[in-house]
Every structure is written in C-alpha cells, then in structure tokens.
Amino acid sequence: MSSLINFYNKIEINFIKGEGCYIWDDAGHKYLDMTAGVGVNNLGYKNREINIEIIQQIESYIHLSNLFTNQWANKLSDKLIEISKMDASFFCNSGAEANETAIKIAKLYAYEKEIKNPKIIIMNNAFHGRTIGALSATGNQKYKEKFGQLFEDFIFVNFNAIEEVRDALEQNNICAMMLEPIQGEAGVNISSTLYMKQLKQLCEQYQCLLILDEVQCGLGRTGYWFYHQKSEIIPDVLTLAKGLANGLPIGACLVNKKLNTLLTPGMHGSTFGGNPLVCRVAYKVLEIIERDQLIKINKLKGAYFIDKLQSKFTSVRGIKSIR
C-alpha cells in the first residue's frame, strides 16, 4: 500500500527501464508506450544525446539563481523565438504555470488598457491545468466541481463556434481569449484553419490578446512546430510544456513584442523556472527535432495512420470519428 496521496488511479506495474518507445517491467514484459508518457517523451526513453547533455550540465551546476545570466535559457529562448516568430520567453516548470503566466499577462494588459471588469474567453471542454487560475480557466466541469468559488475572469463558449466568440466580444469587456488549437483532454478536437484565422482577425479588431495553449499539441507533434502555424497566424501569447525537455520539468510562456514592453522585473518569477539543466536539455530537444526532420516525418506518419485507420474502421459500428 502506497503512502502517496491518492490523486492518480495508478496501475500497479513497476517499470524498470525504457528505451525508445518501449518500457520494461520488473517481470521482463515489454510495453509499447503509445502515449509517450502523455506527450512528454517525444524523443524516446533513454535518449543517448539527451543523457549526455544532462551529464555534462550536472558536472557544471544544476541550479543557478534567476538573478544571473543563464546562457542556456538565452539560447533556448532564441531558438523558440526563431521557430515561433514570437518576441520573448519566460520559463517555468509546468503547463499549468505557463498558463498562469499567460493569464497574469492578460490581466496586466487589461490593467494597462484600463479595461473595466475584463474577461477572458475560454472554450468549453478546454483543459489548461490544475492550479487555481488555470483551473478556473478550464472548461471542463469534471475538474472543477468540488473546488467551490473559482476566479470569475472567464467566459465560456463552444469550440470552433465563431459566432459565440463574436457575441461574447460584443457583450463583454474582453481582454483576451485562450484556447488549445487542438483540444487534448477533451478528446482531440481540432480547430479549423478558418476558425483560427477568424479568431486572429477578431482579436485584432477588438484589440484583445490571442493566447494559444500548445502544451499538448505543440513542438512538432502535429507536423508543424506549433499547430496554429497551419493557419498561418501568430498569437500574442503561446504556452508550451510537456515534451519541451523530453521529461525534465519545464514550461514556457512566449509573448509578442507589444506585450514584452509591458513586462518588467518583479511582476512574475519562479525559483526553479528555466534552470540551466532543463534549458540545456530543451535546447537539445529542439536541435534534434530539427536535425532529424521529425516534423516532416510526423506529418507523413500522421497521414499514414489516418489513412489506414479510416480505411479499416470508418464503417465499423460504434466508431464515431477518427481523429
């Protein structure tokens, strides 16, 4: 019997090693990890190159106070900026923290613009994390129902329903909208290209921020560095986490130029966020994805699987859709 708080429905398997997309239990059974540790181990278990970076960095130091220059955080940020066309990054330790950062930035933006009673539009069934702010912004009641009064900064609309967004913009003082371009926890709901373009256009028209949570769908997993790039738009804020350091904890909140000028020392921070070890590993992750052309390969594999699954299962009773 474990003394851990029972927050997870744990399956009693004792995994002792991993390699690539396989893991082995203590009885010698080999398993194919089809979820990559839930979107984290994107470059596989026991990745040799990643391990070398970890070893080299711990020989120098693991942690460095955020009061000093951190060359690995700088390098990682520069790389993220290059691939996302954003302007600046903040590093934290998880997806929820990245989204907390985004929500704080939206509130600051509203403050600076003197927007009275500002609201943020969120999609029904969205999942943005478990901390109180991110939970308040989560559009799935299942995660919220027992936690009483949460923050009231959010207005919920249906995903992929542009008219509902338009109505919300007309009827409220909206400072931002936040969404996953592909809703993950909700069951892989994919935004249409038209919808994303329309959201971007509405954000420009109403001068509100477009915050995209690519914690789960970002970093090359869909055949684009970031799924919104399929729609040829650039958000105001972009959040990342999960696979960024292939298993070491990291979150990132990227902003565009107009927001970067609003953000000044003391407004936000994190003791461990962006430490040299995770940033060095994350930098390597991006290098490997690029060098090995994994995004192109993912696109081809995605098309292959969709084709095979559709041709085999489309007419099978009980299967509603293949995504």
Contact set with ligand PLP (CB under 6 A): 94-96, 99, 127-129, 180, 184-185, 213, 215-216, 241
Q: Which is nearer to ligand PLP, 87 or 185 (CB)?
A: 185
Q: State the minimum distance, in angstroms, from the CB of residue 128 to ligand PLP.
A: 5
Q: Which is nearer to ligand PLP, 53 or 213 (CB)?
A: 213
Give the end-to-end CA distance of the chain in Å, rounded to a whole number. Answer: 38
Q: Which is nearer to ligand PLP, 241 or 259 (CB)?
A: 241
Q: State the minimum distance, in angstroms, from the CB of residue 127 to ligand PLP.
A: 5
Q: State the minimum distance, in angstroms, from the CB of residue 97 to ligand PLP.
A: 7
Bridge partners of 252, per DSSP, are 91, 240
3-class SS of residue 230: helix
Instruction: State which residue has the least CB distance to ligand PLP.
Output: 95
Q: State the minimum distance, in angstroms, from the CB of residue 96 to ligand PLP.
A: 3
Distance CA 181, CA 195 (A): 10
Q: State the minimum distance, in angstroms, from the CB of residue 175 to ligand PLP.
A: 20
Q: State the minimum distance, in angstroms, from the CB of residue 189 to ligand PLP.
A: 11
Q: Which is nearer to ligand PLP, 169 or 179 (CB)?
A: 179
Q: State the minimum distance, in angstroms, from the CB of residue 30 to ligand PLP.
A: 26
Report which DSSP code applies to 136. H
Q: Which is nearer to ligand PLP, 140 or 260 (CB)?
A: 140
* Residue 25 backbone zone (phi > 0: left; psi -120 to 50: alpha; other: beta): beta
Q: Which residue has the tokens 């769908």?
A: 217
Q: Are 139 and 124 in contact (CB under 8 A)?
A: yes
Q: Are 240 and 273 in contact (CB under 8 A)?
A: no
What is the four-CA torsion angle of 135, 138, 142, 148, rounded to 10 degrees? 40
Q: Which is nearer to ligand PLP, 169 or 249 (CB)?
A: 249
Distance CA 231, CA 141 (A): 29
Q: State the minimum distance, in angstroms, from the CB of residue 316 to ligand PLP.
A: 28
C-alpha R_g of the chain: 20
Distance CA 120, CA 210 (A): 10
Q: Is 75 exposed, middle or buried (0-12, 13-18, 19+ CB in 10 A)?
A: middle
Bridge partners of 121, per DSSP, are 155, 177
Q: Which is nearer to ligand PLP, 215 or 294 (CB)?
A: 215
Q: Which is nearer to ligand PLP, 70 or 94 (CB)?
A: 94
Distance CA 28, CA 15 (A): 9
